[in-house]
Amino acid sequence: MARPVTLVTGQWADLTLSTLAEKASDFGYDGLELACWGDHFDVAEAVGPNGAAYCKSRHEILAKNGLTTWAIAAHLVGQCVLDRIDPRHQAILPPRIYGDGDPTGVNQRAIEEMKQTAKAAKNLGVSIVNGFTGSSIWHLLYSFPPNLPGQIDAGYELLKERWTPILDVFAECGVKFALEVHPTEIAFDLASARRTLDALDNHPAFGFNYDPSHLGYQGVDYVKFLYEFSDRIVHVHMKDVYWSDTPTRVGVFGGHVDFGNPERFWDFRSLGRGSIDFEAIIRALNHINYQGPLSVEWEDAGMDREHGAAEACEFVNGLDFKPSEVAFDAAFDAR
């Protein structure tokens, strides 16, 4: 095994960390990517007066099951830094962040919480926070009615205004923020990822949490992403997605039908059961010398999750391999 295999806990937040850690160990994982929701990792507790004891308790639960952690996940609060807040966001935020739902207040509290998340990660002893940025301009994607001059520019200017102070705290803490490039984020393909880096003046604390599943069904070259941003890949999600080779009744925008609907053009699948070429990804990761975790984010509306999580761990362990340390034809030179 070339790299540790971990499990993202966000889709398991209905379970306690103790219960999930025991299951993940049985599934064969090396560690967990702790979500900052459910009871898995509480930012306020980690930076509070008993923060050291709290962080120690997380490590003890993991160690009891032969697990460790390399990263935490702060997607939900991060989303609300840039988003145009509406009542949907109440479902993904703790009450202390959502408050009375006033959009300006939610944005401001999310900004402060992300700064605290950097400190919480440092206290836990990890150097990566995966997450979302949100986007104030996602609703302008299709450009009809036609976008006004400067509207898209203003979205990236707002990114710089709100995220630079957050990233400065990350830098002070020696922690990287890794954006999961994803629809509804300020970066959702190669072009917008490049524009995001430019807008942030290539901030040293900013990187990407690579996840091919959100790129492939869009028609984005997900392997090229690794090569183009090789110096910014700080974490990797292993997640599969299926997309149809023929036209379907429900297109790429989803048709307002639920995941799992068989008429969808694309849907998330358990690893190895979708359309992603994971061997090409492993070869690219070897080429760019990525040595971090391969973190399984398991989602498949048509499969039992425990079966799927165990299957996914076995799939990744069987797929991953170290790069060659010698040229394959070097033996011909032996005398």
DSSP-derived secondary structure for 185-245: SS--SHHHHHHHHHHTTT-TTEEEEE-THHHHTTT--HHHHHHHTGGGEEEEEE-EEEE-S
How does DSSP classify residue 10?
G
Instruction: Report the candidate in 180, 162, 189, 173 with the shortest Cα–Cα distance to residue 76.
Output: 180
User: Which residue has tokens 């799927």?
Assistant: 308
180: which residues sit within 8 A by CB, 6+ positions away? 75, 130, 131, 132, 208, 209, 211, 214, 237
Instruction: Report the candidate in 200, 187, 195 with the shortest Cα–Cα distance to residue 132.
Output: 187
Q: Could you confirm whether domain 5-333 is CATH 3.30.310.50? A: no
Q: What pLDDT, on the 0 to 100 scale, is given for residue 2?
A: 81
Task: Tell me the C-alpha distance between 46 and 245, whole Å.
Answer: 47
Instruction: Report the candidate in 266, 257, 274 with the shortest Cα–Cα distance to residue 308.
Output: 274
Task: Tell me the C-alpha distance between 60 and 115, whole Å.
Answer: 25
Q: What pLDDT, on the 0 to 100 scale, is given for residue 327?
A: 65
Against a cut of 0.85, is the pTM above it?
yes
Q: What pLDDT, on the 0 to 100 scale, is given for residue 329?
A: 61
CB 33 within 8 A of CB 72: yes
- Terminal C-alpha separation, the chain: 32
Give phi and psi for 156, each to the nearest 5: -75, -30
Between the CA atoms of 157, 161, 163 and 169, what dihedral angle is there, to the nearest 10 degrees? Answer: 150
Q: What pLDDT, on the 0 to 100 scale, is given for residue 155?
A: 98
C-alpha gyration radius of the chain:
20
Task: Tell me the C-alpha distance between 191 and 221, whole Å.
Answer: 11
Mean pLDDT by runs of 10 across the 335 residues of the chain is: 92 98 98 98 98 98 98 98 98 97 98 98 98 98 97 98 99 98 98 98 98 98 98 98 97 97 98 98 98 98 98 97 75 59
CB 8 within 8 A of CB 33: yes
Would you tell me how many other CB atoms lie within 10 Å of the CB of residue 47? 19
Q: What pLDDT, on the 0 to 100 scale, is given for residue 194?
A: 98
Q: What pLDDT, on the 0 to 100 scale, is given for residue 324?
A: 81
- Joined together, the tokens standing for residue 154 give 């203003």
Q: What pLDDT, on the 0 to 100 scale, is given for residue 325?
A: 80
User: Which residue has tokens 């967990």?
Assistant: 32
204: which residues sit within 8 A by CB, 6+ positions away? 171
Q: What pLDDT, on the 0 to 100 scale, is given for residue 332?
A: 59
